[in-house]
Structure 1
Amino acid sequence: MTTTPTPPTKTTPAVPADPVGKKPPTARSLTWARRRHSVARFWSSYRSHRAGLFGLAALALIALTALAAPLLVGGDVQSVTDAPGTAMEKPRGEFPLGTDQFGRSLLGLLVWGARISLTVGLLAATLSVAIGTLVGIIAGHYGGWFSTVLMRITDWFLVMPALVLAIVLATVMSRNIWTVIIAIGVTSWPTTARLVRAQTIAVESRPYIERAKALGGGHGHIMNRHVLPNVMPLVLAQTTLGISSAILTEATLAFLGLGDPTVVSWGGMLQDAREAGAVSSGHWWYLAPPGIAIALVALAFTLCGRAIESVLNPKLGVAR
Structure 2
Amino acid sequence: MSLATPAKPALWKRLPVVHQLRQSVGLQRGMLIVGLVITGIFIFVAIFAPLLAPYGYSTLRDEDGIFGAQQPPGGKHLLGTTVGGYDVLSRVLWGAQTALSVIVVAVLLSIFVGVLLGLISGYLGGWLDRVIIVIADAVYAFPTLLLAIVAAIAISGGQSSLWGGVFAAAVSITVVFIPQYLRVIRAETVRIKAEAYVESAMVIGSGTGRIMFRHVLRNATRTLPLIFTLNSSEAILTLAGLGFLGFGIEPTSAAEWGYDLNKSISDVTSGIWWTSVFPGLAIVLVVLGITLVGESLNDLADPRLRTKRRADGGPSTTAETTVVPGGSLDDVPSIEALEGRV
TM-score by length of 1: 0.82
**Aligned residue among 40, 44, 51 for 1:60:** 40
Q: Does 1:95 find its partner at 2:77?
A: yes
Corresponding residue for 1:266?
257
**Aligned residue among 32, 53, 68 for 1:73:** 53
Q: Deviations over 1:7-48 (max 9, x none)?
A: xxxxxxxxxxxxxxxxxxxxxxxxxx9965632644422576
Corresponding residue for 1:45?
23
Q: CA deviation at 1:129?
A: 2.6
Check 1:37–1:206 CA distance in 2 against 1; reply closer, same or farther (3 A cut).
Answer: farther
SS at the partner of 1:291? helix
Corresponding residue for 2:104?
122
Q: CA deviation at 1:130?
A: 2.3
Q: Deviations over 1:219-239 (max 9, x none)?
A: 211111111111222112111
| Cα pair 1:126 1:239 within 8 Å, conserved | no
Check 1:203–1:151 CA distance in 2 against 1; reply closer, same or farther (3 A cut).
Answer: same
Corresponding residue for 2:269?
280
| Cα pair 1:62 1:114 within 8 Å, conserved | yes
- Give the whole-Å Cα distance in 2 for the aligned partners of 1:71 and 1:270: 24
Question: Superposition pairs for residues 289-304 of structure 1, below 5 Å?
Answer: 289-304=278-293
Structure with greater helix share of residues: 1
Q: CA deviation at 1:263?
A: 1.0
Q: CA deviation at 1:272?
A: 2.4
Q: Which moved more, 1:210-219 or 1:72-81?
A: 72-81
Listed as ranges, the gaps of 5+ residues in structure 2 are 1-8, 160-164, 308-318, 320-342
- Give the whole-Å Cα distance in 2 for the aligned partners of 1:130 and 1:88: 44
Q: Deviations over 1:97-137 (max 9, x none)?
A: 21112433211211111100121122212222322211211
| Cα pair 2:57 2:255 within 8 Å, conserved | no
Q: Which moved more, 1:122-131 or 1:109-118?
A: 122-131
**Aligned residue among 112, 120, 128 for 1:146:** 128
SS at the partner of 1:137? helix
SS at the partner of 1:76? coil
- Give the whole-Å Cα distance in 1 for the aligned partners of 2:305 and 2:136: 26
Q: Deviations over 1:298-320 (max 9, x none)?
A: 1111111122223333335479x
- Give the whole-Å Cα distance in 1 for the aligned partners of 2:70 and 2:77: 11
- Give the whole-Å Cα distance in 1 for the aligned partners of 2:78 and 2:203: 68
SS at the partner of 1:173? helix
Q: Give, as a single letter, the amino acid of the residue that structure 2 aligns with 1:113.
A: G
**Aligned residue among 177, 184, 188 for 2:177:** 188
- Give the whole-Å Cα distance in 1 for the aligned partners of 2:142 and 2:10: 43
Q: CA deviation at 1:201?
A: 1.1
Corresponding residue for 1:226?
215
Check 1:155–1:316 CA distance in 2 against 1; reply closer, same or farther (3 A cut).
Answer: farther
Q: CA deviation at 1:209?
A: 0.9
Q: CA deviation at 1:206?
A: 1.3
Listed as ranges, the gaps of 5+ residues in structure 1 are 1-32
Q: Which gives a bigger RCO, structure 1 or 2 (Cα 8 Å, sep 6+)?
A: 2
| Cα pair 1:125 1:185 within 8 Å, conserved | yes
Check 1:178–1:243 CA distance in 2 against 1; reply closer, same or farther (3 A cut).
Answer: same
Q: Deviations over 1:115-167 (max 9, x none)?
A: 00121122212222322211211111111111111111111111111211111
- Give the whole-Å Cα distance in 2 for the aligned partners of 1:299 and 1:221: 40
Q: Give, as a single letter, the amino acid of the residue that structure 2 aligns with 1:171.
A: I
| Cα pair 2:244 2:259 within 8 Å, conserved | yes
Q: CA deviation at 1:187?
A: 2.3
- Give the whole-Å Cα distance in 1 for the aligned partners of 2:138 and 2:10: 41
Corresponding residue for 2:294?
305
- Give the whole-Å Cα distance in 2 for the aligned partners of 1:313 and 1:126: 25
